Amino acid sequence: MKQEFKLKGSPNSALLAATIGFFFGAMAISLFGPTAGKLSDIMQLTPFEVGILVAIPSLSGSLLRIPMGASVDVNGGRKSFLALLIITIISLSALCYLFTTYYPDHMTGLYPVILVLGCLSGCGIATFSVGVSQVSYWFEKKKQGYALGIFGGLGTASAGVVAIVLPIILRRLGFIEAYYILSAAMLLGCIIYFLFANNAPYFQFIKRGLSAEESHAKAAESGQQLFPTGNIKESLRISAKIPQTWMLVATYFTTFGGFIALTSWLPTYWQKAEGLTAVQAGTLTAIFAIVAALFRIPGGKLSDKLGGVRVSMVSLIVVAIAGVCMNLPMGWVAQFVCIMIVALAFGFNNAAVMKLVPVYVSKSVGGASGWVGGLGAFGGFVIPPIMGQIAGAFPDYGYKLGFGLFTILSLLNILINYLGMIKKQSSVETTA
């Protein structure tokens, strides 16, 4: 079939290219987390300012997911993916120049500039919603949960890699060198994606000049099961009219936004609240991030088998309980165990949510991926400053008290999901 239609790529190659591209793009999640301690000391930042600093890459990384995710329904995603990576590379290069010129003795007054460059560097995180749509269009429905679990799991694992590698580079090579290496890695990821990524069959036929009807027919014959609306505005409009889109946004805000938030906030927590070294803090944060990321894979497979709603509900219950436990007086080892339980639950729930996107919004996957991935990931920008504010308001126990935020959010999501999705699970997921 591939030879008859002369298609470029395959579902597996598309998954590999998108995963590698997102792996490097998602590195920006940990852009400032491992170095926040140094920057805080040099620039005399408050806990709230540190919270803004570590969260700022998530601002562009979340909001750009909305239009970029929807753009896949128009252009197939390859151009959008590359554009986001290129902006990230340019911004990281500018950040390298800034640190080369002014670090460490002339950093006073540069906080706003660092925030702007950090925000632009976060564009690579937005490749997630593009990749979700790309992968969904390539794979048949019954395999989407597993495929998206691999994409999201292996892709977001890069945040953990950076969290542990960056402090080691800092110690052995230096602050500035660490950011140059990060920029070079981002460039490598962009090149790999450029060389191997291909749009789904429908978009390949459109590019060859076939009509939408002809492209739809040929793509269907080649195995494609999901098809776009073909218009960014329409894609966003259709998906926005479906209530389950916003329920998935709320859930993803808690667990994927929470994943980004904790990956960026934990290095500060471990150092400031528990007195650990930068390398120790980076190692513990990396374990959290990698476990949360990789467990999206079994989470996706389990969601294919049991249904995304069931997996999501159980995961949220676990997060709610763990959030309470993390407020209890305990040493850093016990605290780490609780955080690891949260990591497992985050991984399973994030996979379940992405499984549900093409289930509930099959006619506008790109638009829904944009809303869910964008506004959901916005939690990565909102949560750290709140936790920083709590830490500053209650110096003795504020760092631990901030974890209670996840209990509140999880309980709200449990209620929302029960009322809006679990009653429709049988009719919708069974049909899908």
Nearest C-alpha neighbor of 283 from the set 175, 162, 387: 162
Burial 336-347 (b: 16+ CB within 10 A, else e): bebbbbbbbbbb
Domain residue ranges of the chain, discontinuous segments joined by +: 2-431
DSSP-derived secondary structure letter, 423: G
Q: At what angle do helices 365-377 and 232-240 cross, to 10 degrees?
A: 70
How far apart are alpha carbons 108 and 44 in whole angstroms?
Answer: 9
Nearest C-alpha neighbor of 374 from the set 158, 67, 147: 67
Pair 165, 35: CB distance under 8 Å? no
Determine the 3-state secondary structure of 185 from DSSP.
helix
DSSP-derived secondary structure letter, 31: S
CATH of 2-431, one of 1.10.260.40, 3.20.20.120, 1.20.1250.20, 3.40.50.1000: 1.20.1250.20
Other beta carbons less than 10 A from residue 237's beta carbon: 14
Say which residues have a Cβ less than 8 Å from residue 175's Cβ, sequence separation at least 6: 35, 38, 99, 103, 104
Say which residues have a Cβ less than 8 Å from residue 227's Cβ, sequence separation at least 6: 137, 202, 216, 219, 220, 363
Burial 78-112 (b: 16+ CB within 10 A, else e): bebbbbbbbbbbbbbbbbbebbeeebeeebeebee
Say which residues have a Cβ less than 8 Å from residue 87's Cβ, sequence separation at least 6: 120, 123, 124
Pair 123, 80: CB distance under 8 Å? no
Look up the pTM and report it.
0.77
pLDDT digits (tens), the chain, 432 positions? 344 557 888 999 999 999 999 999 989 888 888 888 889 889 988 888 988 998 899 888 888 888 887 788 888 889 999 999 999 999 999 999 999 999 988 898 899 999 999 999 999 999 988 998 888 889 887 787 788 888 988 888 888 888 888 888 888 888 899 999 999 999 999 999 999 999 999 999 998 889 988 999 999 988 888 887 666 777 788 888 888 889 899 999 999 999 989 988 898 889 888 889 888 988 899 899 889 988 888 888 888 888 888 899 999 999 999 999 988 888 899 999 999 999 999 999 998 988 888 777 776 777 787 788 788 888 888 998 999 889 888 877 888 888 999 999 999 999 887 776 654 554 444 444
Pair 69, 132: CB distance under 8 Å? yes
